[in-house]
Structure 1
Amino acid sequence: MDKAPQRPKVALTAVAVVVFVTFLDTTVVSVALGDIRSELSTDVTLLQWVVNSYTVVFAGLMLAGGSLGDRWGRKRVMIVGLVIFCAGSVVSALASSVAMLIAGRAIMGLGAAASEPGTLSVLRHVFPDGRTRAKAVGVWAAVSGLALAAGPVLGGVLVHAYGWRSIFWFNLVIAGVALVAALWSVPESADPRPEPVDWAGALLGAVAFGTVIYAATVGQDRGYTETSVLALFALGGVAAIGFVVVERRARAPMLEFRYLRLPGVRSALVVAFAVYFGIFSIFFFTALYLQVMQSYSGARTATVFAPMAATIVIGSLVAGYWVGRRGARTPMILGCVLGAAGILLTRQALSGTLHDPWLAAAMAVAGFGFGIAVVPLTSAVLSGVPPEHSGMAAAVTNTMRQVGSAFGVAVLGALVSGFLSADLKARMNELGLPTTLQPDAIQAVERGRIPEGADITPYLQYLSKVSEVIDAGKVAFHHGLDVALLVSAALILAAAAFTALDAPRRPAEIP
């Protein structure tokens, strides 16, 4: 049975801190990879799993974490998750090898999967009134957006001042504060009629989401036609089919598919996927283009991105008030339209000569749209599902975000890489560079350095054409980025159109 909340503002603060530290870890480690590589003497493939082990475990187990919270108590599962997250932070900070660091990051992902879904479901109970809950969700969305955008900036400051291990000690301190605040202020709540845990659904769901996200991630390097990658996608597909079959027959399913028949919930999940797919076209690929191809420093990149971070926060807070008064449908549509417009303006700003103020302003429009869209989609799902299943609602919303992000990086990465390789090959053929030398040259342009172990002797006679290859690389990368931004904007606009046609003008009754 739910306990009445006595300290709602403190509970909201505790929830915000949990959201901040779990979302921060999605991006904060990326700026420390160079230092980690130097100290732990590892290769690029393993370095990727310092980042991906957290994301894959987080996304794969989030649905199970939310549903377990409904059954065992949302506060209890959140607290256990925070303890696990803290333990993973300690393992990562003390890691003496890259394998130990990857294990620590996976433990952190497990803790995040247990604790993060509870942040939204707790708000459903701490703020039972729709208006106040919408404002609280606005704070939640503002903090999550700020954490994603602030990750590289904060990570860069910590690594520069104290070394890469300081990131994980920082995580420990912030998660510890959240743990104490949650113990003191967050009320316990659970399904008043808890059913047996759907372990088969939990396992199949974790395999389905985790395998597909893993395949989408490794496919960027191995190629999406590689046998092992296709096998992973096939395994994920089979697990997904098994998950649907099991959930439809389970006495107490991990995911109630009947809720997906509600237009408000269905359209919100579509928007969640599309918006986070598009967010990473800017967060990841635009930042990569500026740093690798335009030689922007970390500080200059952070300056360009700072207005976007600010407008995500402003948009989220504005939307919280708007949704509380007018409902979710209109702000969700408008947020998508503004987000897509900002992406198209960013695309325009990246063509020709770069002007930082114009680029920052274009990205700020996108951020404002993203901030507006995230609050109503979250509120629509939470309001469309009964309170006793709020953990499930929170988990499925956040899972769609993670899947959208993973597929955004994977699909858009394949687009960018495909255009980069094709355009570079065409230009190198024009310059007379032998086809046997082209793969290493393309890798050098993509990664900004000569591949390890590559013999540069055959390239020496072509040194006079190096600048032309580099210029061709910039043009080719921009071509891929241009198409990626266009695809992202089109997908978000399609989600807006779907919502306009599908979402009800008034909230539907909870079945």
Structure 2
Amino acid sequence: MVFVTFLDTTVVSVALGDIRRELSTDVTLLQWVVNSYTVVFAGLMLAGGSLGDRWGRKRVMIIGLVIFCVGSVVSALASSVAMLIAGRAIMGLGAAASEPGTLSVLRHIFPGEQARAKAVGVWAAVSGLALAAGPVLGGVLVHTYGWRSIFWFNLVIGAAALVAALWSIPESSDPRQEPVDWAGALLGATAFASVIYAATVGQDRGYTAPSVLALFALGGVAFAAFVVVEMRARAPMLDFRYFRLRAVRGALVVAFAVYFGIFSIFFFTALYLQVMQSYSAARTAGVFAPMAVAIVVGSLVAGYWVARRGARIPMILGCVLGAGGILLTRHALSGTLHDPWLAAAMAVAGFGFGIAVVPLTSAVMSGVPAEHSGMAAAVTNTMRQVGSAFGVAVLGVLVSSFLSADLRARMTELGLPTSLQPDAIQAVERGRIPEGVDIGPYLQYLSKVNEVLNTGKVAFHHGLDVALLVSAVMILAAAVFTAVDTERDKAEVK
């Protein structure tokens, strides 16, 4: 079950090139093919976890899996990018309902901290395998059957998970019958979705556009209201008292930063290889395969490590290794590409990610009472999904802005009038001339097309280079924050 929900976070990454060509879309809409899933997933996961605590974790999980399967069918049959984005959003709704239960049930099945740490290690290995195997498995499916096959595959796996859940998972819930915090659920989802949407559309409309500023303002007001409501609610969707625990606070910061960085590789590196370097889906899968193995190995090692020594050191070391792997990937992408070297660099990042995920998950699950395990699982996964969604949105702004700026500068040098440049940039981003564009004015510049295309490759790499650097710095900053915060906690204990 955890495999299918995390798989769909990255499996679509290797299909982006084919989707772009068939549905004739640009980088911004491609981001929403990814983000529509992660935004809904993260925005509603707190609600899913809390509803599971109250109504029964197994029951909510089953409902979520059914919704996920429906969304898979809509995505597989999509005839436009709008329909595909809608299908992905439905899948995100199903994942938000089902995912928290996969982690919260471990709190009840394994009450002992050491046994639970090992179980979390297996859980993290499966989720990490799903994240990293997404590009590999997706590459094989897209290469063999086309991009729609990944959603039919999701349907098969989702149906199998549904049968397994009905048969094997015990029901559990919070024995206290408290009202559902509907106000908190609505405000939390509104705050998250508004800010992410504003960050994404701002690169096209401009961040000073009234509509974008209004969305940011709506997100800020909704979040402030969410905090007020949660502080006063009898049964809050998110109990802010647990943020006073430094272990929990540090773990959530690391969760955000690590998944912010993960998607700089999963989304933008895959997109760069396919769109700008013409990698096939199968070749992209081959580059990502060692990373999948490294994440699993790192998660399993960390599970035993945390069970014996605690979460602090492996969480910090995992961040350092993950950031180092991102910097190695950044170096490997400069100059002439060599697949073995690139795959090895990404494997280092994957090993660090695998090590970091287990202790951060274990710290939150251990710091929150068992009756609120659904909320603990939901807030952990929410921070992970928030990080991934912000990663795609914020890093997308960086990549797209460098791409547009560098292309405009080069086109100006080549003498292309500024009035013709916007459609030319769209042609480079989409890989084809936008519909309805009169190509007559462009004919005299055909001899310079190759120069423009080469500029597009360099410009995209420029943006990716900065995005990877930002990701690595953010992960290292999270490691420093955790180290300093937990050290302060130890000093206060003494």
In the superposition, the TM-score normalised over structure 1's length comes to 0.89
- 2:401 is matched with 418
Question: In 2 relative to 1, CA 308–156 (structure 1 residues): closer, same or farther, beyond 3 Å?
Answer: closer
Asked whether the equivalents of residues 21 and 430 of structure 2 are also in contact (C-alpha less than 8 Å), the reply is no
Cα pair 2:136 2:285 within 8 Å, conserved: yes
Give 1:165 deviation, angstroms: 4.7
Tell me the percent identity.
Answer: 87
Aligned residues: 490
> Is 1:228–2:211 an aligned residue pair?
yes
Distance change (3 Å), C-alpha of 1:102 and 1:423: closer
Offset, 1:159:
4.2
Is residue 15–residue 281 contact of structure 2 (8 Å, CA) maintained in 1? Answer: no
Superposition map of 1:350-365 within 5 A: 350-365=333-348
Answering whether residue 372 of structure 2 is matched by residue 372 of structure 1, we say: no
Distance 1:296 1:404 in 2: 27
Residues 99-114 of structure 1 aligned to structure 2 (within 5 Å): 102-114=85-97
In the TM superposition, residue 384 of structure 1 has moved relative to its aligned partner by 0.8
> Over the residues paired in the alignment, what is the CA RMSD in angstroms?
2.5
AA in 1 matched with 2:67: I
Equivalent position of 1:499 in the other structure: 482
Q: Does 1:483 align with 2:462?
A: no
Aligned counterpart, 1:310: 293
Q: Distance in 2 between matches of 1:243 and 1:505?
A: 29
Q: 1:482 to 1:104 in 2, by over 3 A?
A: closer
The answer as to whether partners of 1:217 and 1:406 remain within 8 angstroms in 2 is: no
C-alpha distance in structure 1 between counterparts of 2:328 and 2:79, whole Å: 45
In structure 2, the partner of 1:251 is 234
Match in the other structure for 1:81: 64
C-alpha contact (below 8 Å) 1:265/1:384 kept by paired residues: yes
**Equivalent residue letter for 1:430:** E
Cα shift readout 1:292-346 (whole Å, capped 9, x = no counterpart) = 2222222222111111111111111111111111111000000000011111111
Residue 128 of structure 1: which of 92, 111, 115 is its match? 111
Unaligned 5+ runs, structure 2: none
Deviation at 1:101, TM superposition (A): 5.2
* SS of residue matched to 1:450: coil
- The answer to whether the Cα contact below 8 Å between 1:316 and 1:372 also exists between their aligned partners in 2 is yes
| Equivalent residues in 2 for 1:33-182, closer than 5 Å | 50-93=33-76, 102-182=85-165
Residue of structure 1 in register with 2:412 after alignment: 429
Shift of 1:21: 0.8
Return 138-147 or 159-168, whichever deviates more: 159-168
- Per the alignment, residue 3 of structure 1 pairs with none
Q: Deviations over 1:69-124 (max 9, x none)?
A: 11122122112222222333345456677666554433322221111011110111
Check the 8 A contact 1:292/1:447 in 2, yes or no: no
Change over 3 Å in CA distance of 1:53–1:359 after alignment to 2: closer
User: Cα–Cα, structure 1 residues 90 and 64, in superposed 2: closer, same or farther, change >3 Å?
Assistant: same
Residues 94-103 or 288-297, more deviating? 94-103
Distance in 2 between residues matched to 1:466 and 1:93, nearest whole Å: 35
Give, in angstroms, the shift of residue 168 of structure 1: 3.4
Q: Do the aligned residues in 1 keep the contact of 2:139 with 2:285 (CA within 8 Å)?
A: no
Separation in 2, partners of 1:38, 1:422: 23
1:20 aligned partner, one-letter code: F
1:385 aligns with 2:380: no
Q: CA deviation at 1:377?
A: 0.6
Aligned twin of 2:305? 322
TM-fit CA distance, 1:419: 1.8
Alpha-carbon deviation of 1:151? Answer: 2.2
SS across alignment from 2:324: helix
Contact kept, 8 Å, 1:281 with 1:485, in 2: the verdict is: yes
Match status 1:347 vs 2:306: no
Q: Give the Cα–Cα distance (whole angstroms) in 1 for the partners of residues 432 and 24 of structure 2.
A: 16
**d(CA) in 1 for partners of 2:280 and 2:19?**
19
1:134/1:323 contact within 8 Å kept: yes
CA distance in 2: counterparts of 1:351 and 1:29, whole angstroms? 25
**SS of corresponding position for 1:454:** coil
Distance of 1:37 and 1:426 partners within structure 2: 25
Asked if residue 462 in structure 1 is aligned to residue 455 in structure 2, the reply is no
| Alpha-carbon distance in 2 for matches of 1:388, 1:174 | 30
Residue identity opposite 1:431 in structure 2: L
CA distance in 2 between partners of 1:159 and 1:364 (Å): 23
Preserved contact between residue 146 and residue 310 of structure 1 (Cα < 8 Å): yes
**1:215-243 CA deviation, whole Å, 9 max, x = no partner?**
33333444433332322222111111110
> Which string of whole-angstrom CA distances, capped at 9 and with x for unpartnered residues, describes residues 395-433 of structure 1?
111111111111111111111222222222222222222
**What is the alpha-carbon distance in structure 2 between the residues aligned to residue 93 and residue 348 of structure 1?**
37
Point out which structure has higher relative CO (alpha carbons under 8 A, 6+ apart): 2
| Alpha-carbon distance between aligned partners in 2 of 1:255 and 1:118, rounded to the nearest angstrom | 16
TM-score if structure 2 supplies the norm length? Answer: 0.92
C-alpha change, 1:310 and 1:223, in structure 2 (3 Å) is farther
Please tell me whether the aligned partners of residues 17 and 271 of structure 2 are also in contact (alpha carbons under 8 angstroms).
Answer: no
Unmatched tracts of structure 1, length 5 or more:
1-17
